[in-house]
Amino acid sequence: RSKYDLDPVAFEVELERLWLQVKPLYDSLHCYVRARLTETYGPEVVPPGKPIPVHLLGNLWAQQWGNVYDLVEPKGVADPGYALTERLEKAGYDPIKMVKTGEAFFTSLGMAPLPETFWERSMFVKPRDRDVVCHASAWSVDQKDDLRIKMCIQVNEEDFNTIHHELGHNFYQRAHNTQDPLFRDGANDGFHEALGDTLALSVTPKYLMRLGLIDKEPPADADVALLLRQALDKVAFLPFGLVIDKWRWGVFSGRIPADRYNQAWWDLKLKYQGVAPPSPRSEAQFDPGAKYHVPGNTPYMRYFLAHVLQFQFHRDLTAAAGETGPLHRRSIYGSRVAGEKIERMMLMGASKPWPDALEALTGSRDMDASAVLEYFAPLKSWLDEQNRGQVCGWQ
């Protein structure tokens, strides 16, 4: 908690503030998704008023729920008319083409292309002859221009997003590699995690049309469906993003003793995410160990911050790019103005307190989840409508 230009206790207060800003949105999403899963699996499996069984959410860690979209897709509103995974497959995209497409987004903002060595030295697909760590990562090997990613790319929407995420690290690294060694880092680690995701938020239907992946823009009344798809990943992630380090900080401080590691994990997941384990758990299991960042010792609050910051960046960069209309239809693709702002922030690295970097990008010195709320506002009203008569929350 020492790397946020804040007293560690003040940092925790700040996190609580951001969480309380978005909690009503999460609660509405949770309530709606649970009701739809109850319809699918029956009240014995998904009891109303209770936490959602975590294994029904379409992801091993239930950190993003996009894979259950088909089970919860809205009724009575227009359909977006496409699923990106299917479009990528149909258009014959392969892993390299996906990465090239991601790179082209960055260069459209005026950034220099990645060096030839990136293409020679990266690992894009899972090798057949040896075991590797497939969890995606991005590297600046010589702290200059030997940039690489390591991923086991599959042709689907999730990996298309992750490619933008990883390239965000590489472009940021190349920019801050010009700083003194101590400052070769993000303004804070949440900034590093947010950068590529910010570009991925600009992967709008209009942009997909430009790529030739879809041939018409979904109508305005498909907004609820588009936003729900996005919320299943981005809003569902928020409490998950909090829980990992709340658990870890408890362990490191001794507040969570070794004979309660697993219990404390599920207590936190219940409290923040409203999810329950698939079967009874005990201290004979160590479920936190299944999450890469726990044994890998990678701090995790960065991703919670990133999920707030990326919407703040998106709102302010798209405005700078002259985009109007609902936030989720706006894209910075091709905007040199947005590109220059990003570049200016990236070049600062960690040489200034993060509020300075935030100000350079957004004009504000505070992290603020109001952009998340604004982005999802039409969905929130719709969810609350659907949830009428339901008992939301969990016991």
Site residues (vs ligand X8Z, CB under 6 A): 63, 136-137, 162, 165, 303
Instruction: Confirm whether 136 is a catalytic residue.
Output: yes
Residue nearest to Zn ion (CB): 193
Between 65 and 172, CB nearer to Zn ion = 172
248 is in the binding site of which of Zn ion, ligand X8Z, none (Cβ under 5 to 8 A by kind)?
none
CA distances from 375 to 251, 328, 329 (A): 35, 6, 10
Q: What does 162 interact with, of Zn ion, ligand X8Z, none (CB < 5 to 8 A by kind)?
A: ligand X8Z
Residue 136 binding result from Zn ion, ligand X8Z, none, given CB thresholds of 5 to 8 Å by partner type: ligand X8Z
Site size with Zn ion, rule: CB under 5 A: 1
Q: What angle do CA 280, 283, 284 make, to 5 degrees?
A: 85
Nearest distance, CB of residue 209 and ligand X8Z, angstroms: 27
Concatenated DSSP letters of 27-61: HHHHHHHHHHHHHHH-TTTS-TTSPEEGGGSSSTT
Q: Tell me how far CA of residue 44 lies from CA of 38, 277, 323, in angstroms.
A: 8, 15, 47
**In terms of Cα–Cα distance, which of 51, 376, 48 is closest to 233?**
376
Nearer to Zn ion, 177 or 335 (CB): 177
137 binds, among Zn ion, ligand X8Z, none (CB under 5 to 8 A by kind): ligand X8Z
Which of 293, 319, 343, 377 is catalytic? The answer is 293
| CB of residue 345 to Zn ion, shortest distance in Å | 17
Binding positions for Zn ion, 36-55, rule CB under 5 A = none
Catalytic residue, from 103, 157, 193, 323: name it. 193
- Would residue 166 show up in a list of annotated catalytic residues for this protein? yes
Alpha carbons 31 and 387: distance in angstroms, whole number: 7
Known catalytic residues are: 135-136, 165-166, 169, 193, 293, 303
